[in-house]
Amino acid sequence: MLNPLTPVHLHWDGDLPKALEYEDIYFSAADPRGEVQTVFIEANELPFRFRNVRRFAIGETGFGTGLNFFLTLDTWRQHAPSGAFLSYVSAEAHPLAPADIHRALRAQDIPETDIAVLLAQYPPPVSGLHRIHFPEDRVVLTLVYGDAAPEFARVRGKVDAWFLDGFAPSRNPALWNIAVFRQMARLSRAGTTLGTFTAAGQVRRDLAEAGFAVKRIPGFRGKRERLVGRFQTAPYPDTAPMDRIAVIGAGIAGLATAVALRERGATVTILDPRGVATRTSGNPAALLSPHLSAGDSLRNALALAGMRATRALLNALQVDGNDGVLRAEGIEHRGITRHAARRLARLSAVDPRLAGNLYQVVNKDPRKPILRYPQGIGVDLGAFCRHLAHGLDVRHRQVFTVDTGERGASLGYADGGQDLFDAVVIATGAGPALYPGQPRPLHVGGQLTRIRTPLRSVGRMALTGRGYCLPEYEGQHWLGATYRHDNADSGVHDPDNVENLRQLHWVDPALEAAEEVAVSGAWYGTRAVFRDRLPAVGEAAPDPAVHAPDGARPTGTPRVFIHIGLGSRGVLYAPLAGQLLADRIFGLPEVLPEPLSELLSPARFRHKEA
Ligand SMILES: Cc1cc2nc3c(=O)[nH]c(=O)nc-3n(C[C@H](O)[C@H](O)[C@H](O)COP(=O)(O)OP(=O)(O)OC[C@H]3O[C@@H](n4cnc5c(N)ncnc54)[C@H](O)[C@@H]3O)c2cc1C
Ligand SMILES: C[S@@+](CC[C@H](N)C(=O)[O-])C[C@H]1O[C@@H](n2cnc3c(N)ncnc32)[C@H](O)[C@@H]1O
So what's the pLDDT on residue 550?
52
Mutate to test the pocket of ligand 2, among 28, 63, 127, 180 (most ligand atoms within 8 A of CB): 63
Closest ligand relative to 8 C-alpha: 2
Tallying the residues shown for the chain, one arrives at: 610
CB of 68 sitting under 6 A from ligand 2: yes
Homologous superfamily of 442-528: D-Amino Acid Oxidase, subunit A, domain 2 (3.30.9.10)
Closest CA to 436 of 528, 541, 539, 535: 541
pLDDT, tens digit, 9 for 90 and up, residues 215-226: 999 999 888 999
524 by Cβ neighbours in 10 Å (0-12 / 13-18 / 19+) ranks as: buried
Atom 41 of ligand 1, residue of closest alpha carbon? 399
pLDDT, tens digit, 9 for 90 and up, residues 210-259: 999 999 999 998 889 999 999 998 877 667 789 999 999 999 999 999 99
So what's the pLDDT on residue 173?
97
Atom of ligand 1 nearest to the CA of 446: 1
3 state DSSP class of 167? coil
**Whole-angstrom distance, CA of residue 552 vs CA of residue 449:** 54
**Whole-angstrom distance, CA of residue 421 vs CA of residue 407:** 8
So what's the pLDDT on residue 477?
96
CATH 3.40.50.150 intervals, the chain: 10-231
So what's the pLDDT on residue 543?
53
Atom of ligand 1 nearest to the CA of 249: 34
Residues of the chain with pLDDT under 70: 237-238, 487-488, 542-555, 607-610
CATH 3.30.9.10 intervals, the chain: 442-528
**Whole-angstrom distance, CA of residue 336 vs CA of residue 520:** 26
Closest ligand relative to 434 C-alpha: 1
Q: Tell me the CA distances in angstroms from 327 to 151, 314, 330, 371, 461, one per residue in order.
A: 37, 13, 10, 20, 9
Element (H, E) at 340: helix 338-348
CA of 536 to the centre of ligand 1 (A): 14
Atom 24 of ligand 2, residue of closest alpha carbon? 62
Amino acid identity for residue 352 in this structure:
P
CA of 7 to the centre of ligand 2 (A): 11
Closest CA to 573 of 294, 249, 313: 313
CB of 481 sitting under 6 A from ligand 1: yes
CA of 279 to the centre of ligand 1 (A): 6
**Whole-angstrom distance, CA of residue 276 vs CA of residue 459:** 31
**Whole-angstrom distance, CA of residue 349 vs CA of residue 156:** 35
Element (H, E) at 316: helix 297-317
* Number of other residues whose CB lies within 10 A of the CB of residue 100: 16
CA of 165 to the centre of ligand 2 (A): 7
Atom of ligand 1 nearest to the CA of 428: 34
CB of 251 sitting under 6 A from ligand 1: yes
Q: Looking at the domain 244-279+386-441+532-605, which fold is it?
A: FAD/NAD(P)-binding domain (3.50.50)
pLDDT, tens digit, 9 for 90 and up, residues 313-358: 999 998 877 788 999 999 999 999 999 999 999 999 998 988 999 9
So what's the pLDDT on residue 319?
83
Asked if residues 409 and 350 have their Cβ atoms less than 8 Å apart, the reply is no
- Number of helical H runs and strand E runs in the chain: 15, 29
Atom of ligand 1 nearest to the CA of 279: 30
So what's the pLDDT on residue 546?
52
CA of 52 to the centre of ligand 1 (A): 39
Atom 4 of ligand 2, residue of closest alpha carbon? 64
**Whole-angstrom distance, CA of residue 247 vs CA of residue 315:** 23
**Whole-angstrom distance, CA of residue 119 vs CA of residue 134:** 12
CATH 3.50.50.60 intervals, the chain: 244-279+386-441+532-605
pLDDT, tens digit, 9 for 90 and up, residues 140-155: 999 999 999 999 999 9
So what's the pLDDT on residue 290?
95
CB of 94 sitting under 6 A from ligand 2: yes
Buried b (16+ CB within 10 A) or exposed e, 274-303: eebbebbbbbbbbbbbbbbebeebebbbbb
CB of 104 sitting under 6 A from ligand 1: no
So what's the pLDDT on residue 323?
84
Phi-psi bin for 254: left (phi > 0), alpha (psi -120 to 50), beta?
alpha
So what's the pLDDT on residue 553?
45
So what's the pLDDT on residue 234?
82
3 state DSSP class of 609? coil
Asked if residues 327 and 351 have their Cβ atoms less than 8 Å apart, the reply is no
So what's the pLDDT on residue 608?
59
**Whole-angstrom distance, CA of residue 67 vs CA of residue 418:** 50
- Whether omega before 149 lies within 30 degrees of 0, making that bond cis, reads no
**Whole-angstrom distance, CA of residue 593 vs CA of residue 416:** 41
182 by Cβ neighbours in 10 Å (0-12 / 13-18 / 19+) ranks as: middle
Closest CA to 517 of 447, 468, 450: 450
CB of 248 sitting under 6 A from ligand 1: yes
Q: What is the CATH number of domain 10-231?
A: 3.40.50.150
So what's the pLDDT on residue 474?
92
Atom of ligand 2 nearest to the CA of 104: 9
So what's the pLDDT on residue 487?
58
Mutate to test the pocket of ligand 2, among 70, 165, 180, 220 (most ligand atoms within 8 A of CB): 165
So what's the pLDDT on residue 610?
44
Q: Tell me the CA distances in angstroms from 521 to 30, 71, 447, 456, 517, one per residue in order.
A: 67, 53, 11, 20, 12
